[in-house]
C-alpha cells in the first residue's frame, strides 16, 4: 500500500518536473506576443518592449487608437538595430507613401508592420533568428516626422 502510493507520488513528481522543463526550454506563446498602441498625438503607449530570448517567433500587434486618417497621422512599427534606426527612418521617409515609408528590401529592417490610420490595427510575426540578447534594438514609426518621438527600445531578455 505504502509502496504503491509512493510510486504514484513519484510519477506525479516526474510529470510536474517534465512540465516545468518544457516551460523552461521554450517560452509560452503568450510571452512572445506583444501589443502596442499609438494615438493621434503621435505617441506610442510604451517606450520599452521585450520578449524572452527563448521566443523563436514574435508577434506584434499595433493598434491605432486615434481617429485621424492614415494620410495625416499614419503609424507603423519598424524594428532595427538601434544603430540603424536613423538611417532606416530617413531612407524610409524618402521611399514615400506608396512604400508605406519603408525602403523596399532594406536588410536592416528586422520587422515592420503596414501603415494604419485611426481605428485600425495590424500585426506582424517575425523570426528572432540572428537576433541577440546582447544587441540593442529600437522600434519606431517611420511616418514622416514621427520617429524622433515615436520610438523605444526592444530587447531579447536572456
Ligand atoms: Co506614426
Express each pLDDT in 25-59 by its tens digit. 556 779 999 999 999 999 999 999 999 999 999 99
Average pLDDT, integer, range 11-33: 60
Give distance in angstroms: CA of 74 to centre of ligand 1: 5
Give distance in angstroms: CA of 6 to centre of ligand 1: 61
Give distance in angstroms: CA of 127 to centre of ligand 1: 24
- Assign 46 to helix, strand or coil: coil
**Is the pTM above the cut of 0.75?**
yes
Which DSSP state fits 75?
B
Does the pLDDT value for residue 102 go beyond 70? Answer: yes
Q: Which residue has the cell 506608396?
A: 98
Give distance in angstroms: CA of 87 to centre of ligand 1: 17
Express each pLDDT in 59-83 by its tens digit. 999 999 999 999 999 999 999 999 9
| Distance of alpha carbon 17 from alpha carbon 34, whole angstroms | 28
Give distance in angstroms: CA of 26 to centre of ligand 1: 33
Amino acid at each position: 500500500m505504502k509502496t504503491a502510493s509512493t510510486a504514484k507520488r513519484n510519477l506525479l513528481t516526474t510529470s510536474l518536473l517534465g512540465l516545468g522543463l518544457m516551460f523552461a526550454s521554450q517560452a509560452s506563446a503568450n510571452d512572445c506576443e506583444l501589443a502596442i498602441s499609438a494615438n493621434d498625438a503621435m505617441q506610442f503607449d510604451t517606450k520599452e518592449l521585450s520578449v524572452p530570448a527563448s521566443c523563436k517567433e514574435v508577434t506584434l500587434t499595433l493598434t491605432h487608437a486615434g481617429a485621424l486618417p492614415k494620410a495625416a497621422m499614419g503609424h507603423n512599427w519598424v524594428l532595427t538595430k538601434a544603430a540603424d534606426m536613423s538611417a532606416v527612418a530617413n531612407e524610409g521617409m524618402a521611399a514615400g507613401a506608396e512604400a508605406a515609408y519603408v525602403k523596399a528590401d532594406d536588410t536592416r529592417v528586422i520587422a515592420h508592420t503596414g501603415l494604419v490610420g485611426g481605428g485600425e490595427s495590424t500585426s506582424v510575426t517575425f523570426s528572432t533568428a540572428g537576433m541577440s540578447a546582447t544587441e540593442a534594438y529600437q522600434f519606431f514609426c517611420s511616418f514622416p516626422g514621427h520617429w524622433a518621438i515615436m520610438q523605444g527600445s526592444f530587447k531579447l531578455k536572456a
